[in-house]
Amino acid sequence: MSIHAPLILDIEGTSLNADDRRRLAHPLTGGMILFGRNWQSRAQLSDLCAEVKSIRPDLLIAVDHEGGRVQRFRTDGFTHLPPMRALGELWAQDAQGQPGSGVLKACEAATSAGFVLGSELRACGVDFSFTPVLDLDHGESGVIGDRAFARDPRVVSLLARSLMHGLLQAGMGNCGKHFPGHGAVKADSHVALPVDKRGLKTILADDAQPYRWLGSVLTAVMPAHVIYSKVDSRPAGFSPRWLQDILRRQLGFQGVVFTDDLSMAAARQMDGRTLSYAQAVITALEAGCDMALLCNRSTVNGGTELDEVLDALAEAQLKGHWMPSEISEERRLNLLPRSPARPWDELVRSSDYMQALDRLP
C-alpha cells in the first residue's frame, strides 16, 4: 500500500458520483480541488465536503480562493474579498500628518482578509486555499495583474506574512505562488509556456526574495509554469535545479511543493515535447514536487484521463519507476487543520469576525 498520496483531483459537479467516490478512495489520491462548478450554496458545499471526509478523513479539500477575480465562492454569505493589489495600494496611503499609517492599516487589512477567507472556507468544510500570490507586479503579466500585492518584494513579503497570520488564526495553512516568480513574463501559462530570460542572481535578488524572507512561515509553495532559460531549460515545476537545489537547499524550504495545474496548456511542455498527464505527474514528483494537481479533467470523457494517471502511477510504483515518499506524505498531512472549525452561524456572530470585516479595504 502506498505511503504517499500525491494526487489532487477534481470532480465534475456539486455532488459526488460513483466515479468520484472511487477515485477519491484510491490510495494514491491525497486531496480534491474545488471549482465554481462545484458550488451551489453553503449548505451544498458543506454536505459535499462532509461526504468527501466520510470516504477518506485524511483527504485535503482545497480551492483557489485568493480574493479579487480568483474567488470560487461569492454568494450565499461569502465575503467578496478585495484583490491583493488593493492591500498594496492601502500600504502607500498615509493619513494626513501620520506617516506610516497606511502600512499599519494595510497589514491589519491583510490579516483580516486572511482570517475571513480561512474562517469562511473552514466553516463549510474546506481545508486549504492556494494563497497568497507572492509574484511581484512588474506590470508585464496579465494573468497575475492585480492578484499581486505590489512591485516591491519587501511590501509583498510583509503583506503576505500578515495575510498568512490571518489564515493561521482561522486554522488554515498557506501556499506561496508562483515560485520563483511569474510577474515578469507576459505570456499566460494557461495557454502558452512563458520564458523568463533573466539570470539567477537577478531573480534571487528580486522575485524570489519573498520565499527567502517567508521561509519560516510558508507551509506550501507552488512553482510557476515558466522556463527561466538562463537557469534551466525545464519549467520550474519540472526542475530539480529550482526545486531541490534552490528552493529546498539554498532557501531552506521544508513544506509541501505543489505543482500548478498539470492540465494547463503549458504545464506538460518539457525539452521540446508534450508529456502525457501520467508522464507529467511522475516527472514533477521526481523533480521534487510532493503533490500534483490535475484539474478540470473529470469533465472530459467521464474523467478517463484521471483513471489513466492513477493506473500509470500505481504501475510505476509497482515496477519501481516511481518511489513513494514518506516525507512528502508527512508534509501533506501537516496541511490538514488541527483545530475544529467554527460553524457558520457562530462565526458570523463572533466579534473577531465582525471586526475583521470592518478592517477590509
Catalytic pick among 10, 146, 260, 290: 260
Q: Is the pLDDT of residue 97 over 70?
A: no
* Nearest alpha carbon to residue 2 among 276, 342, 321, 313: 313
User: Residue 196 catalytic?
Assistant: no
Contacts of 278 (CB under 8 A, 6+ apart): 308, 309, 312, 313, 316
Q: What confidence score (pLDDT) does residue 3 get?
A: 85
Phi, psi of 277 (to 5 degrees): -60, -45
pLDDT digits (tens, 9 = 90+) for 252-261: 999 999 999 9
Cβ contacts of 146-152, under 8 Å, gap ≥ 24: 146/68, 146/69, 146/83, 146/84, 146/85, 146/86, 147/66, 147/68, 147/69, 147/70, 147/83, 147/84, 147/85, 148/84, 148/85, 148/88, 148/183, 149/84, 149/85, 149/87, 149/88, 150/85, 150/88, 150/91
Domains of the chain: 26-359 (3.20.20.300)
Q: Please write the tens of the pLDDT for every residue from 133-148.
A: 999 999 877 789 999 9
Q: Does position 194 have pLDDT exceeding 70, yes or no? A: yes
Check residue 188 and give its pLDDT. 65
* Mean pLDDT in residue range 49-57: 98
Q: State yes or no: pLDDT of 305 exceeds 70.
A: yes
**Would you state the cell numbers that stand for residue 264, as one nine-digit string?**
494547463
165 assigned to active site: no
What backbone torsions phi and psi does residue 159 show, to the nearest 5 degrees? -70, -40
The band of 192, judged by pLDDT with boundaries at 50, 70 and 90, is: confident
For the chain, percent of residues with pLDDT exceeding 70: 97
Amino acid letter for position 131: T
Catalytic residue among 190, 232, 245, 307: 190
Q: Report the percentage of the chain scoring pLDDT > 90.
A: 87
